[in-house]
Copies of this chain bind each other. A is one copy, B any other.
Amino acid sequence: MCETCGCGQRKITLTVGEALLSENERWAQKNRAWFKKRQVKVINLIGSPGAGKTSLIEATARLWNQGKIAVIEGDPETQRDAERLSALGLPVAAVTTGGVCHLDARMVHQAFHQLVETDPHLLFIENVGNLLCPADFDLGEDLSVVVLSVTEGEDKPEKYPQAFRRAQVLVLTKIDLLPYVDFSLDRCLSLARQINPSLKVLPLSLKTGEGLSDWLEFLRS
């Protein structure tokens, strides 16, 4: 038996969590209406630190010729990724969350104020590097994309299902490293499709460019 125990109540956590999500949903709806009015298509990128989210935006921006791109760049600290993307000439609104583990719809709303006059056709929201918490927050986006690198392991859809459930697309990055890691593409896709049968999967390498044309074609469609 426990030498020190004495169990407390945890109900407050759930209640407050629900209130915050409902508050978020109100802002997400505002965003959705705003994005529709401005005719901007919005993509929410969710993935672990180092999965390749910023590199995916960089590669897309270099090859894109169907209208203006803007970026809302979420990071717990520093504006390094925002600076990388600004260097390409993209309008970028940096959201430094001060350690907070996700973007919420209100942060996105405030950030879009900085971008709306650039009149973008396509808006990337790079979420904070985290495969868990961002999946709980609707930002008002049109498309949710989960970015997973093959170095993270084939079991991740099963262990972090919410991000895979939420997404319409899985971009599987770093496929140039497949010869050097233990990763079964078949097993990963099978696990992902158990969670989300209609998930579209786009494997690619941002180093070699393999698969990038499929991603661009998908975005155009």
Contact = CB atoms under 8 A, between A and B. Distances in A.
Contact of A20 (B13, B136, B152, B159): B13
A112 to B, nearest CB: 9
A73 to B, nearest CB: 11
A49 B101 contact: no
A200 B132 CA distance: 28
Interface in A1-33: 2-5, 8, 12-13, 16, 19-20, 23, 30, 33
Contacts of A162: 76, 99
A129 interface: yes
Interface residues of A, number: 52
27 contacts: A3-B37, A8-B106, A13-B20, A48-B49, A49-B159, A50-B151, A50-B152, A50-B153, A76-B159, A77-B158, A77-B159, A77-B161, A78-B155, A78-B159, A80-B155, A80-B158, A80-B159, A99-B132, A99-B162, A101-B130, A101-B132, A129-B131, A129-B160, A130-B131, A130-B133, A151-B174, A177-B180
Given A76-B160, A129-B131, 18 more contacts: A2-B113, A3-B37, A4-B30, A4-B109, A16-B16, A48-B50, A50-B151, A50-B153, A76-B132, A76-B161, A77-B160, A77-B161, A78-B158, A80-B158, A80-B159, A129-B159, A130-B132, A149-B151
